[in-house]
Chain A
Amino acid sequence: MIPDAGVIGQSGLQFFGKMCASISHDIKNVLAVINENAGLLEDLCAMAEKGRSMDPSRLKRLAGDIQEQIRRGDRIVTGMNRFAHSADEASTDVDLSELLDLLAALALRFAAARGVRVQVNRPPAAVRVTTAPFLLLNLMWLCLEGAMATAGPGTVELAAENAADGACLRLCRIEGLKEAPAAFLSAEPKGALCLALKAQLSLDPEKNEMALRLPKNRV
């Protein structure tokens, strides 16, 4: 079942499209490197046909490079698959650290463009809630996008922790939050997403932190 189709709306589709475009760009880059490796193999064969000796160690390195690109492509496609399936269930059991890892992977290209490193701090024990993963990813992306724009180059940290009545997701080291908190708490679409997730978003400008409190079960 599609989770809260009305809440997903235009913002959700934009989020989905933006992530898919970024992933397709990464896949194209992998294909481009594999294409060049294949081309180099052709070049080496053509040179060998003209009498130049072929160095086996060069061929081994080329094979290794192609395998590395296949591993890189596999990581990208695995993330894409997890992201696509995040829209399967209206509510499901979610490991929040895994969700943050996925968010960080999706954000990698956008973060790099701003000179930002997104670091996920893993808690000692798993933090799990029953929630709508796609809506939560959308909301966290909007928060992270705002954090990256506010903080500028540097490191932004993400962390999940257990709370008495559910869980809390923290976005830390948002340098400059004190100067621009209003832009961060714009009502829509964050407001609608918070409502659908029964979540509460709060800022602590003194600590340069944002917290998103989630219930144990949003249903």
Chain B
Amino acid sequence: MAEKVLIVDDDKAFLAILAERMQNRGMEVSTADSAAAALKMLEKETYDAVLLDLMMPEMGGIEALQIMRKKQPEVQVIFVTGHPSVSKGVEAMKLGAMDFIPKPVDMNELTEKIHQAKAGRMILVEKRSQEKIKKILTDKGW
């Protein structure tokens, strides 16, 4: 099954071209040109990976990541940024980001990370389902 990916970046030219390249690789791609638009999309849909720009107007990537993690704890966020700094990277990872990729993007590296994101998300979803089932069984005394 195709990977479902959401790209979030305020640079519309970058959004369009990256989406086209990923679609050519068989992925199902949605785009949002602001963090606010991405958060709305996350209310209705789940994605295997979210590619998130770090510096965006009004709401930056770090703030968006925190809200996304509250909405969907198993969401896999990969930061794509022009200037990856160690301090920002550490902050993002502490807040639950999956990885950091510098711009310009290496498509092979990005594709690999998206595969990893999908696998990581599936493990988390499965783990949560098992915990739910376990809780139901425990509550019923079985």
- Interface on A for B, CB 8 Å cutoff? 21, 24-25, 28-29, 31-37, 39-40, 43, 47, 65, 68-69, 109, 112-115
Contact = CB atoms under 8 A, between A and B. Distances in A.
Interface of chain B, main secondary structure: loop
Nearest to A44: B24
A33 B21 contact: no
B24 A47 contact: yes
Contacts of B58: 112-115
B82 A28 contact: yes
Interface stretch (B10-18, B69-77, B86-94): B10-18
B57 A112 contact: yes
27 contacts: A25-B55, A25-B82, A25-B83, A28-B104, A29-B82, A29-B103, A31-B103, A32-B14, A32-B82, A32-B103, A33-B11, A33-B13, A33-B14, A35-B104, A36-B14, A36-B18, A36-B21, A36-B105, A37-B17, A40-B17, A40-B24, A43-B21, A43-B24, A112-B10, A112-B57, A112-B58, A113-B57
Given A25-B83, A36-B21, A43-B21, A31 B60 contact: no
Given A36-B105, A113-B60, A28 B83 contact: yes
A114 B60 CA distance: 11
B67 to A, nearest CB: 17
Nearest 5 pairs of A and B residues by beta carbon: A28-B82, A35-B104, A112-B57, A32-B103, A36-B17
B83 A29 contact: no
Given A24-B83, A113-B57, A115-B58, A32 B104 contact: yes
Interface residues of B, number: 19
B34 to A, nearest CB: 11
Q: Is the interface of A mostly helix, strand, loop or mixed?
A: helix
A129 B106 CA distance: 49
Nearest to A22: B55
A77 B131 CA distance: 55
